[in-house]
Amino acid sequence: MTQQSSHGTCPFTGGTHRPDEPYPGRDVLRAAGPVVLTEAPAGGPVAVVTTAALARVVLGDRRIVTDTALAPSTWDPRVAGLEPAAADALSLTTAEGAPHAALRRAHAPMLSPRRMRARAGAMRDAARELLAGLGDTADLTADFTTRYPLTVVGDLLGLPRAMIDDAVDACRRMLGDAADAAAAMGAFARLGAAAMEHDGLARELRGRLPASVTDDEVHYLLFALIFAGQLTTDIALGFLLARVLTARDAAQRSSTRRGSPPADVPALVDDVLRRDPPAPFSLWRFITEEVELAGVVLAPRTPVLVDLAGLADDPGAGPGSGMAFGAGPHVCAGIHLARTELAAAVDVVVTDFPDARLAVPAADLRRVDPGGVQGSRLAALPVAGLRPRA
Ligand code: HEM
């Protein structure tokens, strides 16, 4: 790295904020330039990309890769949020080039828009059943926002419903200490093995991969689908349903009509993801050979992140150019699943739970920014009137 920017802010700071407050430090960071050198959560420098235009270039540049073998050897993988290196675990997120393209080809037909559309009815049924079981008043972030994505992905993969509690527990333990995370990985392996015993996408994925890929490796790929899908969709559901119910409250206060349904649910989903991206940063990237980005020369092995949360306020981004799912070869593999399941949950709340309303004033909702590279989430989403339409 040959150039140092001084900007006096840190995009990895945590805190608790109102949902409409900007993410900490992002305006100062963007003002410092398209590429800002700052201190990584696990120590040492990281180059943060702050504009949508440069983000697309970086995420598509083959000289900037996701293999964590290039991460600084001093980093604690848990503090940094690092997966094992590509040589140590077969994974979509860390593979590059031809092996990555082959893995994407194996996953793509299973998660296509057509397959997801065909599952939308089953997703609505799952959301309806889970919401109806909560009682009249519940904090939706206490269980629903975690359990619903896991039920959806579990049904897709072929995981018995009786094991969803284990999946909920494993996902929560991934966020605990090292011992919890190790126990969770054991549980995920059992979940993967159980899914492969039934008809579903887990078995289909096994069949699409070469026989040289071991069952343990398939279990790891299934873990990625379950955990990456839960972590992100969980967060998104909180912000999305808060937006729907806040709009319903406002409509009810301004007229005698019941709250108006959102006119365009897919557009609402994308707007919520743009404003509050569940992954605030891209996957870690590392420079393989000297690269110049917007005048900043980055040396081999420099860590790079794209500031996805900051892009919402990039004046150069243009409408409809949200990048919550990333871009380039590593763009989210579950993008159609995520959009379909989020829209299904909105449809169910709007259509089947006409009396559901925020149990606290919208102004009392709080967003918790955990700091580091983890996504922000609502502290709670208390909802009353959770009675299904008769
Ligand atoms: C609202 C929900 C979601 C958001 C916002 C989201 C966001 C992202 C982002 C930002 C990336 C990294 C892109 C990059 O650095 O270039 C990613 C990758 C990935 N996501 Fe998602 N995701 C969501 C849901 C899901 C779901 C439901 C699944 C599972 C089926 C999933 C599976 C993956 C996988 C496997 C990757 C790695 C892809 C690769 O490296 O080739 N995601 N996602």
142-156: pLDDT as tens digits: 999 999 999 999 999
| Most distant CA atoms of the chain, gap in Å | 66
Report the separation in Å between the CA atom of 100 and the middle of ligand 1, taken as the mean of its atom positions. Answer: 14
pLDDT, residue 352, reads 97
Q: Where are the domains of the chain?
A: 15-384
Mean pLDDT (the chain) is 93
Place of tokens 């569940």: 278
Q: Whose CA is nearest to atom 3 of ligand 1?
A: 232
Q: How confident is the model at residue 7 (pLDDT cuts 50, 70, 90)?
A: low
pTM over 0.85: yes
What is the model's pLDDT at position 351?
Answer: 95
What confidence score (pLDDT) does residue 126 get? 98
CA of 36 to the centre of ligand 1 (A): 24
Q: Is the CB of 59 under 6 A from ligand 1?
A: yes
Cα distances from 296 to residues 5, 34, 47, 49, in angstroms, run 9, 9, 9, 11
Cα gap 270→329, rounded to integer Å: 20
Question: Could you tell me the strand order of the sheet in which 138-139 lies?
Answer: 138-139, 382-384, 357-358
More confidently predicted of 257 and 178: 178
| CATH of span 15-384 | 1.10.630.10
- Mutate which of 231, 282, 332 for ligand 1? The one with the most ligand atoms within 8 Å of its CB, which is 332
Instruction: Tell me the per-residue pLDDT of 226-268, one tens digit each, with 9 for 90 and over.
Output: 999 999 999 999 999 999 999 998 888 886 555 566 889 999 9
**Which of 369, 278, 372 lies closest to 332 in space, CA to CA?**
278
Position 1 pLDDT exceeds 50: no
Q: Model confidence at 312, in pLDDT bands (50, 70, 90)?
A: confident
Buried (b) or exposed (e) across 262-274, using 16+ Cβ within 10 A? Answer: beebeebbbbbbb
Task: Check residue 23 and give its pLDDT.
Answer: 87
Give the pLDDT band of residue 131 (cuts 50, 70, 90): very high
Residues whose CB falls within 8 Å of the CB of residue 316, separated by 6 or more in sequence, listed in order: 51, 52, 53
**CA nearest 225: which of 149, 164, 323?**
149
Quote the pLDDT of residue 2.
36
Question: Which H helix or E strand runs over 49?
Answer: strand 45-49
pLDDT band at 317; cut points 50, 70, 90: confident
CB of 334 closer than 6 angstroms to any ligand 1 atom? yes
Please tell me the distance between residue 331's alpha carbon and the centre of ligand 1 in angstroms.
Answer: 7
> For residue 37, is pLDDT > 90?
yes
* Residue 16: its H or E element: strand 15-17
SS3 191: helix
Decide: 34 and 293 in contact? Cβ < 8 Å: yes
**Which atom of ligand 1 lies nearest, measured to the CA of 236?**
1
Specify the pLDDT at position 6: 47
Work out which ligand 1 atom sits closest to the CA atom of 230: 27
Quick one: pLDDT at residue 320?
A: 61
CA of 51 relative to ligand 1 center, distance in Å = 20
CA–centroid distance, residue 6 to ligand 1 (Å):
32
Do 371 and 41 touch, CB atoms closer than 8 A?
yes
